[in-house]
Amino acid sequence: MSAMYDRLVDLLVDRFEVDRSEIGPDTRFEDLDMDSLFLVELLLVIQSEFKVDIAEDAATPGDTITAVAELIARESAPATTATTAERA
């Protein structure tokens, strides 16, 4: 698994009290009884914790943990590149 996946799992466990044993790469948020309102809150926490800009509707309850981790990774990469380019 990727480092971003591991960080997302840690966030779910630590901040949202999800049982780590219920989380796997193919686990969907709806499998964890998480609805779209929960995802809005989760995405706001992700923005703060990971310093990325993700739209509130970027994920759905049918998305897997892996899919959201990949979304965070994609959104993180351009921000890091832009910051590096701005310093040059």
Which sequence positions are flagged as catalytic? 35
Contact by Cβ (8 Å): 13, 80 = no
